[in-house]
Copies of this chain bind each other. A is one copy, B any other.
Amino acid sequence: MIIIMKASSTEPQIDAVEVHLRSLGLQPHTSRGTQRTVIGAIGDKREIDLERVEALDGVERVVRVMKPYKFVSRESHERDSVIDVKGIPIGGKTIQIIGGPCSVETPEQMEAAAAGVAAAGCRLMRGGAFKPRTSPYAFQGKGVEGLKMFREAAGRHGLPIVTELMDVRMLDTFLEQKVDVIQIGTRNMQNFDLLKEVGRSTHTPVILKRGLSATISEWLMAAEYIAAGGNHNIIFCERGVRTYEDAYRNMLDVTAVPMLKRETHLPVLIDPSHAGGKAWMVPALSRAAIAAGADGLLVEMHPNPPEAWSDADQALNPQELTSLMVELRGIAQVLGRNI
């Protein structure tokens, strides 16, 4: 922690900051510059509240030196982590394309979807039984019944399942239904009680989607909540952020890929479907994601998109997914990876 004093700060104010730092177990190291006095605090700890120091008289601002995250930080674990999902690796050399519909609708739709996902060469399947919808009047998902339909259809094709947990009270049901990967959605990235619970009650892998306007640092800290509880099987998923641009639903933040790869050892996926919000954008965004170094995609595919009960306009059809896989394999190869 570095404390930058105001140009107008006085000696007693500087003394008071030094006393306060010592009371926190830190060693102050004061430099009197031509324009400003700057105090470094040696022995810095992650737990110290910067705001209490900022509130002291004469302090202009406080700069954190240490990263606020620990378990998820690459400083704590240099090599890439690979998360194992029933023998399928997420992270590492192999790229995983996780396909499936936005919502679980009917047994027939799920069977057709699972067949399409498997035929395209994907090794995991996504689908939502509980749907976070902006409007209370929109379809809210098939619930537990949907979870079972999903489980059965995916099982017939040997596909582990990825599905969203919205309500902490449903965690036990998810574990009973043997959900293979729990997805924490955008709107719940800072639902801290939910994060704590998937951290301490299970080791099931968790895909943590980025909040709609979460910074990289907040996102890493949200993962730290899970890791601090004991579950280190965390996978990040960027899905577009909110900006001023209204020509597309969200803006895919492709820079998040190299940035996360530098800051954390955990795998990073991209969801190109929610980012752009239109099926015709998905191939370009998917290629960009893999080219940028993502470890995989979470991509919407529906057996018959115009009939989808939600997000009809953003799902690929099975043929489009199959064609996309060909392009992505080409790009993976350029990067020395495989799909």
Distance from A122 Cβ to chain B, minimum over Cβ atoms (Å): 19
Q: Which residues of chain B have C-beta atoms less than 8 A from A255's C-beta?
A: 248, 251-252, 275-276, 281, 284-285
Specify which of A65, A216, A217, A291 lies most central, judged by the most chain B CB atoms within 10 Å of its CB.
A291
Instruction: Flag whether A202 is at the interface (Cβ < 8 A).
Output: no
Query: B42, A40: Cβ atoms under 8 Å?
Result: no
CA gap between A256 and B226 in the complex, in Å: 34
Closest to A278 in B: B54
Interface size class of A (residues with CB under 8 A): 35 or more
Tell me the A42-70 residues at the B interface (CB within 8 Å): 42-44, 46-47, 49, 51-52, 54-56, 63, 65-66, 68
> What 0/1 pattern do residues 249 to 267 of A give for CB contact below 8 A with B?
0011111011100100000
- Given the known A-B contacts A167-B168, A247-B217, are A35 and B276 also in contact in the complex, defined by CB atoms under 8 Å? no
Instruction: Flag whether A310 is at the interface (Cβ < 8 A).
Output: yes
Instruction: Flag whether A138 is at the interface (Cβ < 8 A).
Output: yes
Closest to A54 in B: B313
> What 0/1 pattern do residues 287 to 325 of A give for CB contact below 8 A with B?
111111100000000000111111111100000000000
Partner of A51, one of B51, B251, B292, B310: B310
Q: Which residues of chain B have C-beta atoms less than 8 A from A192's C-beta?
A: 132-133, 136, 166, 187
Instruction: Flag whether A24 is at the interface (Cβ < 8 A).
Output: no
Q: Which residues of chain B have C-beta atoms less than 8 A from A327's C-beta?
A: 334-335
